[in-house]
Amino acid sequence: MTASIRRDENLRRFRKYLRIDAALFIASMVGAFTLSGFAHLEKFYLILDVPIERVNISAQQFSAYGAAGFGSFLGSLFFAMSLVGTVTLLMLIFEKPRGDTVDSAASPKWIANVRDRAAENRVGFIAVGMLCLLTFVLLSTWYFLIRAPSNTGRAAALKLASTCDVRHVVYANLDKYEGCQIAESNDMLYFLKRHHNDSTGVEFHTFELPKAGIRSITGEKQRLTYKQ
């Protein structure tokens, strides 16, 4: 009877901790997606010379962009987990033995000395190992959540500036403008005017036009094939 009660208590405690862990995992993943998406889009619009605070971007869009480029981070996550397992095993080596399972006299003297020194400085070894692990996690987080999305944002901006389609804007007073529409805010449209494009880079400038008074916006003639 006592064993059954103890088993039920352990099961309830496990379910409680499992709910907490699941909530923390989901919150951390959403936060990581949002941070990654913001780093990507901030660099994207910075390269295109468009103020990101003026563009209509929701939190869901930030998360979507972050999740779209999150594959490399998931791959690195498995590598980090492997590294954590390795570090944990190394830390277990310096853990105090539970009993005299190995005769010190049977081991070489230098091994016995190393084992004794490790046992004497166990706290120091653990502290250094934790600091190294924390440094690795922080650097990995910075690279995969900020640096890598920023690089992909720059590449996406340059690709858009090189390949975007021109659109023609006509106002009610018959003023005409042309350029690639790259962003939109509540009251403005942002366009890119490409001047030169070759294998070394692309030359362009951006300009903004008010939405008020626009009569029509038309794109270039396109032909799409059925086969992809």
pLDDT digits (tens, 9 = 90+) for 3-27: 666 666 666 666 765 676 667 667 7
- Residue 40's pLDDT is 86
Alpha-carbon span 114 to 118, nearest angstrom: 6
What pLDDT is recorded for position 65? 77
Reported confidence tier of residue 57, pLDDT bands at 50, 70, 90: confident
Beta bridge partners of 202: 197
pLDDT tens-digit map of 119-145: 676 777 777 777 777 787 778 778 877
Any domain includes 202: yes
Please give the residue range of the domain that contains residue 48. Answer: 2-161
In this predicted structure, the answer to whether residue 41 has a pLDDT above a threshold of 70 is yes
Same domain flag for 185 and 84: no
Query: 172 and 152, same structural domain?
Result: no
pTM for this one? 0.67
Give the tens place of pLDDT for each residue, 139-186.
Answer: 877 887 788 888 988 999 999 999 999 999 999 999 999 999 999 888
Residue 203: its pLDDT value, please? 94
Domain count for the chain, please give it.
2
CA 110/CA 94 separation, integer angstroms: 16
Residue 173 belongs to domain with CATH number = 2.30.30
On whether the CB atoms of residues 209 and 191 are closer than 8 A, the answer is yes
Q: What sections of 48-166 are H helices per DSSP?
A: 59-68, 71-93, 109-120, 122-142, 148-163
**Among 115, 137, 161, residue at a domain's last position:** 161
Contact predicate 144/130, CB 8 Å: no
DSSP labels, 177-199: EEEEEEEE-SSEEEEEEEEEEET
Task: For residue 157, give the nearest of 131, 183, 129 by alpha carbon.
Answer: 183
For 30-50, what is the mean pLDDT?
86
Take residue 182 and report the two structure tokens written for it: 């790259």
- DSSP code at position 204: E
Q: What is the pLDDT of residue 172?
A: 92
Q: Tell me: pLDDT of 220 over 90.
A: no
Whether 178 and 89 share a structural domain:
no
Tell me the CA distances in angstroms from 223 to 140, 152, 220, 226, one per residue in order: 44, 29, 10, 10
Q: Is residue 186 part of a domain?
A: yes
The pair of three-digit structure tokens given for residue 220, joined into one six-digit string: 């270039």
What pLDDT digit, counting tens, does each position of 181-215 carry?
Answer: 999 888 899 999 999 998 888 999 999 999 999 99
